[in-house]
């Protein structure tokens, strides 16, 4: 079986608009000829204004985020979009 896989993420954030930290949970399903392979990764991250880094040896990377709801000036940010660049190591 090959084709598109799935990806999901959730987590917690502790901090302010200027900086903070948190923990993220990633779930992957990758279809292969031997059947679907499922992975779950949990790791901490830190961030500053506009971006941050993952603190993990198995999925190191950087990310930037863009507020979708709120702006940290007139209203708290309650929803954001994340763009990530990382390498999955085994």
- At residue 2 the predicted structure's pLDDT band, cuts being 50, 70 and 90, is confident
In tens, the pLDDT along 18-68 reads 899 999 998 989 998 889 999 898 999 999 988 999 988 888 899 998 889
Distances (CA, A) of 52 to 31, 37, 38, 41, 71: 30, 28, 26, 18, 18
pTM: predicted TM-score of the whole model, two decimal places:
0.75
Question: Structural domain boundaries of the chain?
Answer: 6-86
Q: What dihedral angle (degrees, nearest 10) is formed by the CA atoms of 19, 23, 29, 32? A: 90
């Amino acid at each position: 079986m090959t084709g598109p896989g799935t990806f999901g993420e959730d987590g917690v954030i502790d901090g302010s608009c200027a900086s903070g930290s948190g923990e993220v949970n990633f779930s992957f399903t990758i279809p292969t000829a031997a059947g679907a392979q499922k992975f779950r990764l949990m790791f901490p991250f830190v961030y500053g204004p506009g971006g941050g880094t993952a603190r993990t040896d198995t999925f190191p990377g950087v990310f930037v985020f863009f507020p979708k709801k709120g702006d940290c000036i007139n209203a708290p940010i309650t929803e954001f979009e994340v763009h990530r660049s990382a390498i999955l190591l085994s």
